Amino acid sequence: MKTTLFRANTRGHKNHGWLDTHHTFSFANYYDPERIHFGALRVVNDDIVIGGEGFGTHPHDNMEIISIPLYGDLEHRDSMGNGSVIRAGEVQVMSAGTGITHSEFNAHPDKDLNFFQIWVIPNKENVKPRYDQQRFDFIENTDQLMQIVSPNPDDDGLWIHQDAWFHIGTFSKDHSMEYALKKQGDGVFAMVIEGEWSVGGIDLFRRDGLGVWDTDTVTITAKSDNARILLIEIPMYRL
Task: Mark the ranges of the chain whose per-residue pLDDT is less than 70.
Answer: 238-239
**pLDDT, tens digit, 9 for 90 and up, residues 114-166:** 999 999 999 999 999 999 999 997 777 789 999 999 999 999 899 999 999 99
Q: What is the greatest pairwise CA distance in the chain?
A: 47
Q: CA 39, CA 234: separation in Å to the nearest integer? A: 6
Which pLDDT score is estimated for 238?
59
Q: Are 199 and 191 in contact, with CB atoms under 8 Å apart?
A: no
- Report CA 155 to chain centroid distance, whole Å: 19
Residue type at 223 in one-letter notation: K
Radius of gyration of the chain (CA): 17
pLDDT of 137 reads 78
Amino acid letter, 170? T
- Identify the pLDDT of residue 106: 96
The residues pairing with 192 across neighbouring beta strands, listed in sequence order, are 229
pTM: 0.96
Q: Cα–chain-centroid distance for residue 213?
A: 18
- Dihedral of CA atoms 36, 202, 69, 91 in degrees, nearest 10, equals 80
What pairs with residue 46 in β-bridges?
A: 22, 116
Task: Domain 2-234: give its CATH superfamily.
Answer: Jelly Rolls (2.60.120.10)
